[in-house]
Structure 1
Amino acid sequence: MYATMMNTALGTLLIKANDDAVTSIHFMRDGETVPELVSNPVTDLCIQQLSEYFGGQRNRFTLPLRPQGTPFQQQVWQALQDIPYGLTCSYGDLARKIGNPRAARAIGMANNRNPIPILIPCHRVIGSKGQLTGYSGGLSQKNYLLSLEQQPLKN
């Protein structure tokens, strides 16, 4: 397992990867223990693409991802990656998209357990009335990401 840290406008991110894919991104909290940091080409590429994203130069990630979860969670996380940059959808919209219109609450739980936020854009899911709902980094971070994606890309 490889790990590296990245300072962003959202705070410090702990990025973990195996030999060929990103496995998690974690919003570090004050006082949290930092694991041994050993980077690899995957974590280096992740930092590069996240830097471009936060700099307004990237609207799509091309990193290999390997989140661990149930088959249902995997289905939800895949559907999240289909939400276009700069757009949002509701939990109900996502439930209908995966063919399970009654699963809005389960979608919310899978969203909550997304181990690779930002790259798997769970921040793009909002409440049915357009309100911001929970986010692993906090609502201010979710709002920041949604606002960032409303800015025109820089060349």
Structure 2
Amino acid sequence: MRNTLRRIEWLLLVVVGGFALLLVLPAIDWFDRDPQVKEAKKQGYYYEVNADKQTFFKKKFTVDSVIYGDGKLIVYMTSEGLLSWPNLPNNIQIITDSNEVLEHQSAGASTSIFKSSGYFTFKQVPEGLKSITIFREAYGESISFPVSFEEGRESR
């Protein structure tokens, strides 16, 4: 009887510990999100965005970084909070400094219990942009993140 209770205690400890690891590990960012980020930093296409969090339908969003070069643009966004999934917008638009509106070509996201992060890819982007505005508007609510390409470039 005592042996059985001890085995049950260890089983419960392993199960609870395993669930705790499953909840905590996805919230830790140890590495770059993407091999493209590392390559973009080497080529000087990576732009860190220091944007404040904005609320859109009671969810808080921020733009982390932008990769711009070689005719494409990738926007990395994050939303944090408990039970944050699915917390990224379905689509975003970009207005260039010449008032051209760009629609994203593809997107992807990963979600954990504390954080949703994802990217939006834009192709056939004009060269020589000095700034863009990332925005989403729906049903009277909107978010807008200005990004300058003249400052904020990061290379490593």
Which structure has the highest helix share of the two? 1
Above 0.5 in TM-score? no
What TM-score, normalized to structure 1? 0.27
Which structure has the highest strand share of the two? 2
